Structure 1
Amino acid sequence: MSKHKKPQGGGPMGHGPGGGNMMMMGQKAKDFKGTLKRLLLYLKPRSTQLIAVFIAAILSTIFMIVGPKIMGIAITELFEGAFQKFQGVPGASINFDKIGHILLLLAGLYVFSSLFNYLQQYIMSSVAQKTVYDLREDVNKKLEKLPLKYFDGRPNGETLSRVTNDIDTVGSTLQQSLTQFITSIVTIIGIIIMMLSISPILTLIAIVSLPISIFAIRPILKRSQKHFADQQRTLGQLNGHIEEMYTGHQVVKAFGHEKKAGAQFDTVNEELYEAGRKAQFISGIIMPMMFFIGNLSYVLISVVGGILVTQRAISIGDIQAFITYSRQFTQPLTQTANIANIIQSTVAAAERVFELLDEEEEVNESATAHLTKAKGAVTFEHVDFGYDEELLIKNMNVNVLPGQTVAIVGPTGAGKTTMINLLMRFYELNGGKIMIDGLDITKMSRNALRKTFGMVLQDTWLFKGTIKDNIAYGKSGATEAEILAAARSSYADHFIRTLPDGYETVLNEEGSNISQGQKQLLTIARAILADPPIMILDEATSSVDTRTEVYIQQAMNRLMEGRTSFVIAHRLSTIKDADLILVMDQGKVIEQGTHKELLATNGFYAELYNSQFSEKEVG
């Protein structure tokens, strides 16, 4: 393997921890209470603001709840005045002044209710966004600590879905549903108190609908939870497929796999549709069921209330207020049930985020040793390594002197890139040790170790930004003069100046507005600017034309001057002059020596070499 990228079929060399479709098939929220409790811990730092939200919600709700009672007083005043006047009571009249004062008070209450409602929404929006900000920060820090094997074993779209879609789901719930939940609870309590003050009998009738409603919707909520978890899972699967097909659309078209890719999309999309349809349908039953139970309660209250009014047990205004309360009573119950529905989706999303946060990190390090300026001596001493229980590299022993150019050759899957990954400490060893200038790399921090290396890979990586910024990526605080010098040393300066904006030319996300060879020259310029004591070169000339290859080879030769260099090579003609050639097969160094020495032994290397060249070329 020669690509320092996500390998085919799983981890590098095809033996990693599964690839492709590791999507937690059929998984649902395993720990609803634990996940919800953990999510609430993110709200703890903003407990003061939440208390303010709670107080604002209480005041807003109280002012709103008192309204029907006061409206009932106005209706009673109007009814009694009109009724007495109808009966011909002497001096009877409607006291419009008193009714006007009552209505003015009512308007004031509703204004204050709106103000406190605005205040709670304003504070809660800040709480929600800060909470999601903290969650994103934790996820970002976690991604920085995850080992390479995590990314080798999962499609990029799956991880992207957890970082974007799932966190957005959590944020939306906090923003929209939490205040509604608080308001609903306060409203339920407040309405019960107001209803009890009017008529305990009617209150009992209204409250009976509550346990009936809970009993009716509980099995529905439990059943919908699984479908919401499936919905989030398949959404991540769909994102992974789209990301893979989009980034590789040229390959898809070249091999005529549009129909196959479309069919795979349709399959996953169908799964998402089915999961979403079932989740929404089952949870959608909750609303009409709540309305049905609420309407039964409403009819019963109206009948009994009418009887109480005729018996003068309560006033007509109170029965009107109670009917309003009974209707309002079912609304927060319905909202609470609906929020419970949303929480199912939110907890499923949060669990996926927490699963990412709980992934095994790189081995903790307390080492602080570092090399001020490494000379470049590298030693592999009895190194054992495997991605799982099976060892792929066994008892590897290699000794590289400072300034040597070491070529690593072998068939695909031999372990060439794995060797580099171990050198860079992207993976931890099963046994043995690797030393640089006699210092065990595990005694160094990963950051200090990786600053010792520069890399030029077969697959170039450039980000959206100017050419100057992309070169400067190799060294923090690089001056313009250093950037220009690096570009000249890599033979990139000429083509850069032919571009319309020169060094200020902005590359797009894929870097597709310049050629592959030009991209490679920029990555070499970046490595030259970094000026590392050890270089790693991964078949950097394999995908360019012959003329560009000459420029790249010259730039690489300049880059390797005075440095220890590890060159992963497929075209053996490019490494004839290497000081040491390591021949790998099935994770082992089976031969090592110079080009002439290896040809003289007429072994595996000679067989590889002769398979690429005719006898005349060999001679």
Structure 2
Amino acid sequence: MQRYLNILGQYLSPLKGKVAVLLLAMLAGIGLQLWIPQITRNFIDAATQKGPEGTLIQLAVMFLVFALLNQGFSTLSTYLSADIGWTTTNALRVDLFRRVMRLDMRFHKDRTPGELIERIDGDVTSISNFFSQFVVRVTSSALLAVGILALLWREDWRVGLIITAYVVVIFFVLQKRAEVAVPATRLEREASASMFGFIEERLAGLDDIRANGAGRYTMNRMHHVAKDWLNKNLKSWYMRSTIWTSMMVLFSLGYCLTLGVGVYFFQQGLITLGTVYLFFNYMRMLEAPLDEITRQMQEFQKASAGILRVEELQNEKIDIEDNGTQHLPQGALSVNFDNLTFAYGDHLVLKGLNFDLKPGEVLGLLGRTGSGKSTLVRLLFRLYDPTSGTLKLGGLDSREVPLKELRQKVGMVTQDVQLFHASIRENLTFFDPSIPDSRIHAVLKELAMDSWVDALPEGLDTKLQANGAGLSAGESQLLAFARVFLQDPGLVILDEPSSRLDPATERHLNQAIGRLLKGRTGIIIAHRLDTVERADKIMVLSQGEILEFGEREALKQDRSSRYSQMLRVSRADNLEEELEKLGV
């Protein structure tokens, strides 16, 4: 229970004023609910005893006023509950999303985006009631039930004793069933996350699924995933419904018991007809708080599973610690790998790398798929930390630099550009409104993109389709270059951005590459040898080791070097094949 109180206090404490008003509104409503049956009892007794008409009118007016006030407090409580629930759960969503964004690649490699969406949204939705209603409603319902029992004891101790015993039985049943559905509900949430992940993966690969005729297989898998989710959902619902079923039976017995006792006492002349109604009405009123407690317990069971999964995400270990206090120098950055080793678990990926790049130098990085090129780049961004050894940028250990600053000083252009369903301005600035349009236009002009943007219907405000649909590959790449220009990094990494372009667009892009690398350190991951002709140094990686590293011109002239051999036998479109021939 302590973990639930901790998370409740964390997100409700900023809203303590609203929570206090909500509690007061509910307490006022409880008082009115307890008093209204007394008015009704007095009205019935006055009417059966032919009391004064003025008394009846006065009681009727009091009943209406109290009923209206009760409705007003109920409306206020409903509004505040919804407001508190949405505010707290949105804050929790933001915190979870921030947590997911900070978690390293080890975490993300094991989970699909669809699964994380279900964690951030689905699990949080399941506990929204816990934030907005659980404590307040359970407390107010318990107070209402205690108030009803106290009034029953005041009216007749025998009736009070019988109904109190009945309530004790109900709470005993509640206590026994309290945790029955938590494991099943947790499995239901996990199955839901798996289904979201499955759908997300298949939609992302829709073109390949259609092109390879895998539609029937995909639908068959969807059937199994959905069946698993349905079965776990039904089991979870059944386990939770056992509480409701038990309460329905107990309430039916309670009504029979109350009516039977009331009629007996009335026939014995011990109570009035109005008091019989009072007993029955209080018994009926007991159903509401007990039913509310029952329902809240069911919601709590669902929330418990969500809270456990949220806690798992909040407690997920962050391997990349952001404790840096040193600041990178302005301008081009030097790069130094000192006996750097990196492993994924037990799999050694990079093995004792040693090399240096001076500020402003450009490195051409060659190697077959799986040689370690992508891992080397991820280390530069601190998506991972070295297993051993050091990586220095601008003379500083990368771990000594704040993550935000490091990733601003290292820019990258990939073959697959991620564009958002937003305006061109927002795509270029990554939604940073502080970057002025004058600077954006200057960058576009430098890349010779100004005429293209000016010709668009709304210029920088033109909305792009999701994933850049409707743009050519060259236009997408140039937008990515403009992003990096605006970032103004000291180190630029290019993952062969021109490999899939037509010759005319490639020439345009090569001009942009030249402008981007001017005054900056660069690393070009090459899939074609002609791409590294602008490089100062060449590195050849194979199975995580440096086979060759040196000045490009010197390696080119050295006929025994691997780079020289590649140049003699290479064709522009088969670098992987030539690397394999040379044993790289």
State the TM-score, normalized to the length of structure 1: 0.85
Cα separation, partners in 2 of 1:609 and 1:78, compared to 1, 3 Å: farther
Residue 39 of structure 1 corresponds to 8
Q: Say whether residues 1:59 and 2:37 are aligned partners.
A: no
Q: Say whether residues 1:162 and 2:86 are aligned partners.
A: no
Displacement of 1:508 after TM fit?
2.0
Q: Say whether residues 1:440 and 2:407 are aligned partners.
A: no
Which of 18, 22, 46 is the equivalent residue of 1:49? 18
For residue 465 of structure 1, give the secondary structure of its aligned residue in structure 2: coil
Displacement of 1:567 after TM fit?
0.7
Q: Check the 8 A contact 1:385/1:431 in 2, yes or no.
A: yes
Residue 597 of structure 1 corresponds to 555
For residue 181 of structure 2, give the secondary structure of its aligned residue in structure 1: helix
Residue 406 of structure 1 corresponds to 363
Residue 315 of structure 2 corresponds to 358
Which of 275, 298, 307 is the equivalent residue of 2:255? 298
Cα separation, partners in 2 of 1:148 and 1:491, compared to 1, 3 Å: farther
Cα separation, partners in 2 of 1:371 and 1:222, compared to 1, 3 Å: closer
For residue 71 of structure 2, give the secondary structure of its aligned residue in structure 1: helix
Q: Structure 1, unaligned stretches of length 5 or more?
A: 1-31, 82-93
Cα separation, partners in 2 of 1:468 and 1:60, compared to 1, 3 Å: closer
Distance in 2 of aligned mates of 1:199 and 1:179 = 30
Distance in 1 of aligned mates of 2:424 and 2:565 = 42
Which of 46, 52, 60 is the equivalent residue of 1:77? 46
Cα separation, partners in 2 of 1:194 and 1:458, compared to 1, 3 Å: same
Q: Deviations over 1:351-379 (max 9, x none)?
A: 22222222223543443222331443211
Which of 113, 116, 125 is the equivalent residue of 2:70? 113
Displacement of 1:329 after TM fit?
1.3
Displacement of 1:284 after TM fit?
2.1
For residue 541 of structure 2, give the secondary structure of its aligned residue in structure 1: strand
Within 5 Å, which residues of 2 pair with 1:255-274?
A: 255-274=212-231
Q: Deviations over 1:151-177 (max 9, x none)?
A: 233211122222222222322443455
Residue 539 of structure 1 corresponds to 496
For residue 507 of structure 1, give the secondary structure of its aligned residue in structure 2: coil
Displacement of 1:396 after TM fit?
0.7
Displacement of 1:79 after TM fit?
2.4
Displacement of 1:558 after TM fit?
2.5
Distance in 1 of aligned mates of 2:192 and 2:530 = 48
Cα separation, partners in 2 of 1:372 and 1:403, compared to 1, 3 Å: closer
Residue 354 of structure 2 corresponds to 397
Residue 199 of structure 1 corresponds to 156
Q: Check the 8 A contact 2:12/2:131 in 1, yes or no.
A: no
Residue 10 of structure 1 corresponds to none
The answer to which of 170-179 and 456-465 deviates more is 170-179
Residue 574 of structure 1 corresponds to 531
Q: Deviations over 1:39-77 (max 9, x none)?
A: 344223433433332222122111112212221122122
Distance in 2 of aligned mates of 1:324 and 1:187 = 13
Q: Check the 8 A contact 1:491/1:521 in 2, yes or no.
A: no
Q: Deviations over 1:205-246 (max 9, x none)?
A: 222223333444555443321221122112222222222222
Cα separation, partners in 2 of 1:613 and 1:467, compared to 1, 3 Å: closer
Distance in 2 of aligned mates of 1:439 and 1:304 = 85
For residue 364 of structure 2, give the secondary structure of its aligned residue in structure 1: strand
Within 5 Å, which residues of 2 pair with 1:148-187?
A: 148-175=105-132, 179-187=136-144
Q: Check the 8 A contact 1:374/1:452 in 2, yes or no.
A: no
Cα separation, partners in 2 of 1:614 and 1:197, compared to 1, 3 Å: closer
Distance in 2 of aligned mates of 1:73 and 1:476 = 68
Distance in 2 of aligned mates of 1:597 and 1:588 = 18
Distance in 1 of aligned mates of 2:168 and 2:245 = 16
Give RMSD over aligned pairs.
2.8
Distance in 2 of aligned mates of 1:184 and 1:218 = 16
The answer to which of 318-327 and 503-512 deviates more is 503-512
For residue 42 of structure 1, give the secondary structure of its aligned residue in structure 2: helix
Q: Say whether residues 1:334 and 2:291 are aligned partners.
A: yes
Which of 92, 95, 100 is the equivalent residue of 1:138? 95
Displacement of 1:608 after TM fit?
9.8
Distance in 1 of aligned mates of 2:157 and 2:282 = 13
For residue 538 of structure 2, give the secondary structure of its aligned residue in structure 1: strand
The answer to which of 187-196 and 440-449 deviates more is 440-449
Residue 582 of structure 2 corresponds to none
For residue 567 of structure 1, give the secondary structure of its aligned residue in structure 2: strand
Question: Higher RCO, 1 or 2 (CA under 8 Å, sep at least 6)?
Answer: 1
Displacement of 1:180 after TM fit?
3.6
Q: Check the 8 A contact 2:119/2:310 in 1, yes or no.
A: yes
For residue 466 of structure 2, give the secondary structure of its aligned residue in structure 1: coil
Distance in 1 of aligned mates of 2:343 and 2:136 = 51
Q: Say whether residues 1:456 and 2:435 are aligned partners.
A: no
Distance in 1 of aligned mates of 2:506 and 2:350 = 33
Distance in 2 of aligned mates of 1:65 and 1:324 = 10
Cα separation, partners in 2 of 1:173 and 1:263, compared to 1, 3 Å: farther
Q: Deviations over 1:443-497 (max 9, x none)?
A: 2222222232221112202223332443344987444343233223334334434
Q: Check the 8 A contact 2:103/2:318 in 1, yes or no.
A: yes
Within 5 Å, which residues of 2 pair with 1:175-574?
A: 175=132, 179-473=136-430, 477-574=434-531
The answer to which of 519-528 and 486-495 deviates more is 486-495
Q: Deviations over 1:112-154 (max 9, x none)?
A: 2222223333333333333224323422432343223322332
Distance in 2 of aligned mates of 1:547 and 1:157 = 39
Distance in 2 of aligned mates of 1:157 and 1:98 = 66
Distance in 1 of aligned mates of 2:316 and 2:303 = 20
State the TM-score, normalized to the length of structure 2: 0.90
Displacement of 1:579 after TM fit?
1.8
The code of the aligned residue for 1:334 comes to D
Distance in 2 of aligned mates of 1:568 and 1:605 = 18
Distance in 2 of aligned mates of 1:475 and 1:34 = 37
The code of the aligned residue for 1:65 comes to L
The code of the aligned residue for 1:381 comes to D
For residue 386 of structure 1, give the secondary structure of its aligned residue in structure 2: strand
For residue 26 of structure 2, give the secondary structure of its aligned residue in structure 1: helix
The code of the aligned residue for 1:404 comes to E
Residue 20 of structure 1 corresponds to none
Q: Structure 2, unaligned stretches of length 5 or more?
A: 579-584
Q: Deviations over 1:552-593 (max 9, x none)?
A: 222212222332110111222322442222111222212223
Cα separation, partners in 2 of 1:99 and 1:529, compared to 1, 3 Å: closer
Q: Check the 8 A contact 1:467/1:505 in 2, yes or no.
A: yes
Distance in 2 of aligned mates of 1:360 and 1:33 = 22
Distance in 1 of aligned mates of 2:465 and 2:243 = 49
Cα separation, partners in 2 of 1:614 and 1:108, compared to 1, 3 Å: closer
Cα separation, partners in 2 of 1:426 and 1:58, compared to 1, 3 Å: same
Q: Check the 8 A contact 2:555/2:561 in 1, yes or no.
A: no
Displacement of 1:188 after TM fit?
0.7
The answer to which of 394-403 and 482-491 deviates more is 482-491
Distance in 2 of aligned mates of 1:79 and 1:539 = 95
Cα separation, partners in 2 of 1:476 and 1:287, compared to 1, 3 Å: closer
Distance in 1 of aligned mates of 2:90 and 2:572 = 59
Displacement of 1:331 after TM fit?
2.9
Q: Deviations over 1:175-194 (max 9, x none)?
A: 45555433322221111112
Displacement of 1:506 after TM fit?
1.5
Distance in 1 of aligned mates of 2:437 and 2:573 = 48
Distance in 2 of aligned mates of 1:372 and 1:402 = 11
